[in-house]
Amino acid sequence: MTESTPSTAQDPAVEPVPDKARTGLILATACVAQVMVVLDVSVVNVALPSIASDLGFAASGLSWVVNAYTLVFGGLLLLGGRFADFVGHRRAMFLGLAVFGITSVIGGLAQTPGQLVAARAGQGLAGALLAPLSLAIIMVTFRDGPSRSRAVGVWAMVAAAGSALGVLLGGLLTQWLSWRWVLFVNVPIVLVGLVLAWLSVRDTHMTRIRALDLPGAFLVTVAVTALVNGLIRAGEHGWGTTGALLSFAVAAVTGALFALWELRSATQPLVRFGVFRARAVWVANLVVLFIGAATVAGFYFASLFLQNVLHYSPLRAGAAFLPFCAGTIAGSMLSGRLTARFGTRVVLSTGLSLGAAGMLLFGRMDSDSTFTNGFLLPSLVASTGVGLCMVANTSLATAQAAPHEAGLISGLINAARQIGGSLGLAILTTVAAAGTAPVSPAAHLRHLADGYGRAFYVTAAFCAVAAVIAGTCAPGIRRTPRSGEEAPAEALGTSTG
């Protein structure tokens, strides 16, 4: 059965390509949508202590301000990609932006922890539609190899830079206004996105599908939610507790049922497992799983270290991330050139190795560290590595994706990153909280620093594992072939060596 259904007699393969001005607006729309999505993962990190103080969050529950977003986001991304293909890109973009704006206002007005967590989950729902859609409209609009590579590179660079800049923006807003503005700031971004989408985004019939795999979406969401809930319960109450074990069991059962449903019963599956025969696809998704775990958790614990151990104000903590922003942008800008010269395998493994080195240096910080002797060098090393690997990995995943699977491929790559972030944060919260907190203030600071250091060491291990996977398994693509050229076998992922 075919995946796509043209709504007109016109052959979708020969639909007119948008003019240059509109393609520029489409790329701008995609970047605005994506930067808002990634911004809301990191922008709240610096505001977490203020949120906890204002709304009365318990220490063990504060991570849900981040987890509620990333968990719903990761669980529904696959459905979000296919939903956009089902209703059309234009309608999906308007819907996603509107929901994101409304839930941001609700979160900014929250008076209890429950209200804020619910609003963050609503943002995650909107993000689950916008993130795969932002990449899908690029993949459909830019069908020529080199032009698609450039557009994906810009998109990935904006996403990486937005994540880093979110920490700075969070500090500025929290210090000068209040933590509530880390949510209200989405409203003007939404308005800009709506205007750009109105001017540029059109429904592309070649990506339309006839049905949504709702059972599959339900099963995969339950599986991921149960797994993360089990990890958090294990961190709070112990790995052998009934709640943790029950959550793990639910995750295992629903995960297995999802795989069986997708393989045997779904008429138009949420995930067509055949795409993973392409080596580029499965390597890129596995690598980005570890990247998500490392970067989301890294931002989280770096923000807490600056404020809880070094006693930085929110503004000063945000400013401390400026070198990280600069390194991420520099790495992103270099990634395309280096990939063209040395190939994705070399760039990915190098970037991830730098990320691991930076996280190891973060782990060496203690309660006597300062910005210059403890925070600056690891920020520059880790961020340059993140910028290199994020752009190269996104290009690897999308280089040869067919337009009719734009939603699926973009949903997979975004889902892997967000699930990795949620799982990594749950695991590392457990690692950082291990041990009994001492009573004296000085000993308490050392205890906090030691806990955060352990978390950074595990984060370094995530990067190192991803570097090994990339170095041994990633196809050595140097560039995407121009239109009309025959694609190399490795670029298509057909090589299994």
Q: Given this model, what pLDDT does residue 357 score?
A: 92
CA–CA gap between residue 398 and residue 124 (Å, rounded): 23
Q: Given this model, what pLDDT does residue 159 score?
A: 74
Q: Given this model, what pLDDT does residue 396 score?
A: 75
Q: Given this model, what pLDDT does residue 100 score?
A: 92
Question: CB neighbours (10 Å) of residue 188?
Answer: 10
Mapped onto helix, strand or coil, the DSSP state of residue 33 is helix
Are 243 and 233 in contact by the 8 Å Cβ rule? The answer is yes
Token pair, residue 311, equals: 């006693």
Q: At what angle do helices 20-42 and 145-176 cross, to 10 degrees?
A: 40
Domain ranges of the chain: 20-212+268-473, 213-267
pTM of the model: 0.69
CA–CA gap between residue 474 and residue 477 (Å, rounded): 9
Select 20-212+268-473's CATH number: 1.20.1250.20, 3.40.50.1100, 3.30.700.30, 3.40.50.300: 1.20.1250.20
Q: Given this model, what pLDDT does residue 211 score?
A: 62
Residue 292 is classified by DSSP as: H
Q: Given this model, what pLDDT does residue 9 score?
A: 37
Token pair, residue 236, equals: 């709070």
pLDDT tens, position by position, for the chain (497 residues)?
Answer: 334 433 333 333 334 445 666 777 888 888 888 888 877 777 777 777 788 888 877 666 677 787 788 777 777 777 777 777 777 778 888 898 999 999 999 988 888 888 888 899 899 889 888 888 887 788 777 766 667 667 777 777 777 677 667 777 777 787 788 888 888 988 898 999 898 888 887 765 444 555 667 788 788 778 877 877 776 676 566 677 888 889 889 989 998 998 888 777 656 676 776 666 667 777 788 888 888 888 777 777 887 788 788 888 777 777 787 888 788 778 877 877 787 778 778 888 888 899 899 988 888 887 777 888 888 888 889 888 888 887 777 777 766 666 556 666 777 777 777 777 767 777 777 777 765 555 566 676 777 777 888 888 888 888 888 888 887 876 655 544 444 333 333 333 333 23
Are 289 and 412 in contact by the 8 Å Cβ rule? The answer is no
Q: Given this model, what pLDDT does residue 437 score?
A: 57
Q: Given this model, what pLDDT does residue 191 score?
A: 92
* Helix count and strand count (H, E) for the chain: 17, 0
